[in-house]
A and B are shown apart, each in its own frame.
Chain A
Amino acid sequence: MMPPAQPLAQPSPAAEGVAVLDDPLEQGRFTRWVAGPGGERWAESSLQLAGLHCAACSGIIEQALGRVAGVHMARVSAAAERATVCWDPDLTRPSALIAAVRRAGYDAVPDAAAPARALRLQLQRQALWRLFVAGFCAMQVMMFATPSYVAAAGELSDEMRRLLNWGAWMLTLPVMAFSATPYFAGAWRALRTRTIGMDVPVALGIAITFIASTGATFEPDGIFGHEVYFDSLTMFVTFLLGARWLELRSRQHAAETLERALARLPETAWRVAADGGVSAVSVQRLHVGDQVRVPLGQAFPADGVLEQGDTQADESLLTGESAPVPKRMGDSVVAGSSNVGAPVLVRVLRVGGDTRLETIVSMMRSALTQRPAAARVADRWAAPFLWAVLLLAAGAAAVWSVIDPSRAVWVAVSVLIVTCPCALSLAAPATLVAAARGLARRGVLLQRLDAIEVLATAQHIFLDKTGTLTEDRLQCSAVLLTPGAVAQGYTEASVQALAASLASWSTHPASRAVADLQPGQTDSGDWQQVHEVPGQGLGAQDAEGRAWRLGQAHWAGAQAPLPDDAQAPLRADAQAPLRAGAQAPLPADAQAPLPADARLVLSCDGRLLAGFVLEEVLRPGAEQAVQALQRDGVTLRLVTGDTAERARQLADRVGIVNVLAAATPEAKLAALIELQRQGHKVVMVGDGVNDAPVLARADASLAMGQGALVSRCHADAVITSSRLLDLVSARRTAQRALDIVRQNFIWAGTYNAVCIPLALVGWLPPWAAGLGMALSSLLVVANALRAGR
């Protein structure tokens, strides 16, 4: 536990969220304990910084942190935008560190991912070193090998040849003992679990080549002949490690981007004590029975029941339902949904793992472990390839031991060497890595390379609605004026201006849609006594004392005894024959009864003036993306937790036929499993927590960049731009990558088909075998790089 700290300045209300960091529970996420020079206990915290624009900023932040009493050392990396601070727990607290950074004009949040990053850094350094050792030795070995390629017969003395071979052997040792160890370790792991991955033929090929060349070096007249292959061997290992290093880099890049998104202040809840005082506490400190205050715009910290106040909850991330759900006193609210109506008091009923949010998350975890195993392209080929090669080599040795026993071993070894699986083991990974880099440039971050294969071949795509096909905001598509309003001299423009200025007082999604009718308007009008009634609308008085209301038809329209002239339009309102404004023709579907919350009306002193038709905003390019995918023969299915009516309406707008509406996460998962059972591969594109189980179980999954963290973390790829057209281009890139993989395989097959018979009859000159191997690797890598363009 933290020792009692010395009295510190009372945090300002704005800093309340930061104060939660002083809770030891939260501190543990980004702080580790180290021993100071005198053996005292110091804390070392990692912070993620924001607002740095030049290298000099790091010095400013270091100084600001250093001035905090109790800070022993502060180190800032401008490139990584991170700070490491060593501080004395007796003298200061994490919140004081963040306050100091903020005073200096920057921002900081705890960096919980520091240990993972340290591990990644170590992996990356190790991989780079392995690659360098292999590459550098390969160059030097090539130099030693050049004389035997260029010398005419008899020009190179035997001693000199042995000396050069010895030098090459010497420099191949580090490659074998250090650089190639991942392949030997991988092969050993595969053999122990009785599976054959691509590492097995690679390790076998490397080992055989090395043993044969070593034999030839030290005993030129022995069974292995006098030809050495050190140059081909080291070059092959270098290529393999190069591809592996690039793969590591792109995977780590994806992880880092995610981490940046994950770094944030801890979730804070405002707990109301028995005496009525409110204190900010970590969400993890909440207990069942606590009373918490939930301000407008914040997420409910736990499952609970409304104790005071009426509000609306936006549960779209959890259920996919796009419209805010009205909540009255006594209604239950769900952790993770956000409070969009009014500030309320909530009594906590369930915390942590018991909440609905956590239940969905654990469902996703179990779905993740049950996803159909996608065998990697190369691994599928590894076992047949290995057996074929071994059989051929054994057969050749058997035949030659009858014809000419002295050449039997030599021929078997040369078969194993020419069939070295270079093209096979490089073809897939190099291409997939290149494709992943190309995708990253277009805003699609891949977290699992295997997803490329599924993405290219899958014929079924599940699309979520809210947040994926649509943005999570509403848009006012039409303004309809009543005859009464027109008679009073209102025009569409004046009504729009009035409504927008009134709506700008509220943050409710519907109000924002109306306020957006006059974008950029900063004048909030001459309104007085503006009040918001949760679930109903906004009321206010203008300068002349007239009462205006903007909200639900039954509330805003029917408040007061209505003047006679308002009766007709009001009654008519239910059937929607409002007179359309000249510029806003009635949309075709306006004849159908609209969902009650998809329309607002504006009234003055109880007289209805205008109606506003609201609809969800399609993401830019959604229609084109859907059409492009359907042209490619993909079956699209809209899966959503929203009502059937709204889902149908939207599906018609973009042109999707197949709709699964009002679906719980369980129902979505069931639909997916049903398709998978029929043998189809399914790609899921989603954003919300409710999509997470489906994302986890799908053969390949893509999450929207603006989606919930849990779905972004576990999807195979994240569309950071949130543009649906990127899905189409990602699919094209994936298909092209798969084509290139196939080309590489065809090349490898042709190469082996030509060389193996030659080696079998003992006609393949060793220099040609080595050259063929090297050229084959080069060709495969060069072809693979095309996938990234």
Chain B
Amino acid sequence: MESLYVLIPLSALLVLAILGVFGWAVHKGQFEDIEAEGQRILTDEAPAVDADQDP
């Protein structure tokens, strides 16, 4: 049970970190056009692929 004394403060810190990441994503506009992302697969243009995902 002693481990909880570390884990609970740690989880609180983790939550704060996640909030920070989410705030960054919101202000970068990542949630503004959610519908279009789903339709991108249907367009002719080849989607941008990360280098390590290349076949």
Q: Is the CB of A137 within 8 A of B45?
A: no
Partner of B9, one of A59, A80, A140, A167: A167
Give the chain B neighbours of A381 by CB distance below 8 A: none
Q: Is the CB of B8 within 8 A of A167?
A: yes
Taken together as a complex, chains A and B put the C-alpha atoms of A171 and B15 apart, in Å, by: 8
Taken together as a complex, chains A and B put the C-alpha atoms of A171 and B17 apart, in Å, by: 12
17 A-B interface contacts by CB (under 8 A): A54-B43, A55-B43, A56-B44, A59-B45, A79-B33, A79-B35, A121-B32, A125-B29, A129-B27, A132-B26, A136-B18, A136-B22, A140-B12, A164-B8, A167-B8, A170-B9, A171-B12
Binding site of B, secondary structure by majority: helix, strand, loop or mixed?
helix
Q: Which of A45-81 contact B (CB under 8 A)?
A: 54-56, 59, 77-80
Taken together as a complex, chains A and B put the C-alpha atoms of A80 and B29 apart, in Å, by: 13
Output the nearest chain A residue to B31 by Cβ-Cβ distance: A128
Instruction: Contacts A125-B29, A167-B9 known; list 11 others, CB within 8 Å.
Output: A54-B44, A77-B33, A128-B31, A129-B26, A132-B19, A132-B26, A133-B23, A167-B8, A167-B11, A170-B9, A174-B19
Give the chain B neighbours of A80 by CB distance below 8 A: 33
Interface residues on B, range: 20 to 34
- Known A59-B45, A129-B23: A170·B12 in contact at CB below 8 Å: yes
Q: Is the CB of A125 within 8 A of B26?
A: yes
- The 4 residue pairs across chains A and B that have the minimum distance between CB atoms: A79-B33, A167-B8, A55-B43, A79-B36
Taken together as a complex, chains A and B put the C-alpha atoms of A171 and B31 apart, in Å, by: 24
Check: A163 CB closer than 8 A to any chain B CB: yes
Give the chain A neighbours of B29 by CB distance below 8 A: 121, 125
- Known A55-B36, A55-B45: A163·B19 in contact at CB below 8 Å: no
- Chain B nearest CB, measured from A266 CB (Å): 29
Q: Is the CB of B36 within 8 A of A167?
A: no
Q: Is the CB of A163 within 8 A of B8?
A: yes
Partner of A167, one of B12, B39, B43: B12
Give the chain A neighbours of B43 by CB distance below 8 A: 54-56
Check: B4 CB closer than 8 A to any chain A CB: yes
Taken together as a complex, chains A and B put the C-alpha atoms of A160 and B29 apart, in Å, by: 41
- Chain A nearest CB, measured from B31 CB (Å): 6
Give the chain B neighbours of A132 by CB distance below 8 A: 19, 22, 26
- Chain A nearest CB, measured from B50 CB (Å): 19
Output the nearest chain B residue to A168 by Cβ-Cβ distance: B12
Check: A144 CB closer than 8 A to any chain B CB: yes
Partner of A56, one of B15, B35, B45: B45
Give the chain A neighbours of B40 by CB distance below 8 A: 55
Check: B1 CB closer than 8 A to any chain A CB: yes
Q: Is the CB of A160 within 8 A of B4?
A: yes
Output the nearest chain A residue to B9 by Cβ-Cβ distance: A167
Taken together as a complex, chains A and B put the C-alpha atoms of A121 and B4 apart, in Å, by: 42
Output the nearest chain B residue to A59 by Cβ-Cβ distance: B45
Q: Which of A174-217 contact B (CB under 8 A)?
A: 174
Output the nearest chain B residue to A169 by Cβ-Cβ distance: B12
Taken together as a complex, chains A and B put the C-alpha atoms of A164 and B5 apart, in Å, by: 9
- Known A121-B32, A174-B19: A140·B44 in contact at CB below 8 Å: no
Taken together as a complex, chains A and B put the C-alpha atoms of A717 and B28 apart, in Å, by: 33
- Chain B nearest CB, measured from A136 CB (Å): 6
Output the nearest chain A residue to B15 by Cβ-Cβ distance: A140
Taken together as a complex, chains A and B put the C-alpha atoms of A129 and B45 apart, in Å, by: 32
Output the nearest chain A residue to B39 by Cβ-Cβ distance: A55
Taken together as a complex, chains A and B put the C-alpha atoms of A741 and B9 apart, in Å, by: 42
Partner of A133, one of B5, B19, B39, B44: B19
Give the chain B neighbours of A160 by CB distance below 8 A: 1, 4
Taken together as a complex, chains A and B put the C-alpha atoms of A133 and B24 apart, in Å, by: 12
Q: Is the CB of A137 within 8 A of B15?
A: yes
Give the chain A neighbours of B27 by CB distance below 8 A: 125, 129
Give the chain A neighbours of B16 by CB distance below 8 A: 174
- Known A79-B33, A170-B12: A136·B1 in contact at CB below 8 Å: no
Taken together as a complex, chains A and B put the C-alpha atoms of A129 and B32 apart, in Å, by: 12
Q: Which of A118-139 contact B (CB under 8 A)?
A: 121, 125, 128-129, 132-133, 136-137
Give the chain B neighbours of A136 by CB distance below 8 A: 15, 18-19, 22
Partner of A128, one of B5, B12, B26, B36: B26
Taken together as a complex, chains A and B put the C-alpha atoms of A422 and B36 apart, in Å, by: 36
- Known A54-B43, A128-B26: A78·B15 in contact at CB below 8 Å: no
Taken together as a complex, chains A and B put the C-alpha atoms of A56 and B40 apart, in Å, by: 10
Taken together as a complex, chains A and B put the C-alpha atoms of A545 and B43 apart, in Å, by: 60
Give the chain A neighbours of B12 by CB distance below 8 A: 140, 167, 170-171
Give the chain B neighbours of A55 by CB distance below 8 A: 36, 39-40, 43, 45
Taken together as a complex, chains A and B put the C-alpha atoms of A140 and B40 apart, in Å, by: 34
Taken together as a complex, chains A and B put the C-alpha atoms of A144 and B9 apart, in Å, by: 11
Q: Which of A602-629 contact B (CB under 8 A)?
A: none
- Chain A nearest CB, measured from B2 CB (Å): 10
- Chain B nearest CB, measured from A133 CB (Å): 5
Q: Is the CB of A144 within 8 A of B8?
A: yes
Taken together as a complex, chains A and B put the C-alpha atoms of A144 and B27 apart, in Å, by: 29
Give the chain A neighbours of B11 by CB distance below 8 A: 140, 167
Q: Is the CB of A78 within 8 A of B1?
A: no
Give the chain B neighbours of A171 by CB distance below 8 A: 12, 15
Taken together as a complex, chains A and B put the C-alpha atoms of A77 and B18 apart, in Å, by: 29
Taken together as a complex, chains A and B put the C-alpha atoms of A389 and B4 apart, in Å, by: 40
